[in-house]
Amino acid sequence: MTDIELLRGSGAFHDEDAFDYPDHRLKGKLVLNLNDAFFWACADCEEVPEDEIGAVADLFRSYGQCGLYYWAFKKQKLSKVEFKDIQRMIDFVAAEEAQIAREPDSNKRAYMNLPPPPEPRAEEGK
């Protein structure tokens, strides 16, 4: 499955013919549907540039819809959204991506935040 097939199949994007009137700038483009996602009663969308399709697909593979919201939030340079649940999703992905940036190796990352092991106890009576 290609990245575009994955993203189009997610149901989060406008259909290819959604902008099917003549000369519309988004006709045939991959456009993320953000209607009512960030703000109440807001018709919104974000075109995924061809050079970002792979990165957006990777975010979707890793985080599902949360990854798509995170990408659009960054792309639109927003500081917050109206809905707390969407903001929590974005904050979660941002924290995960920051952790990955700090330590790309998933095996090492799994142990990054663990407390150190306890000191060995001295045996009694010796």
- For tokens 């989060």, the residue is 12
pLDDT by residue (tens digit) across 2-20? 998 899 888 888 776 665 6
What is the arithmetic mean of pLDDT over 42-62?
A: 92
Angle at 30 (CA atoms; ends 41, 17), nearest 5 degrees:
80
Specify the number of domains making up the chain: 1
- Identify whether 8 is part of a domain: yes
Dihedral sign, CA of 110, 58, 34, 74? positive
pTM: 0.79
User: In terms of residue numbers, what domain contains 80?
Assistant: 3-110
- Identify whether 58 is part of a domain: yes
| Counts of helices then strands in the chain (DSSP H, E) | 5, 2
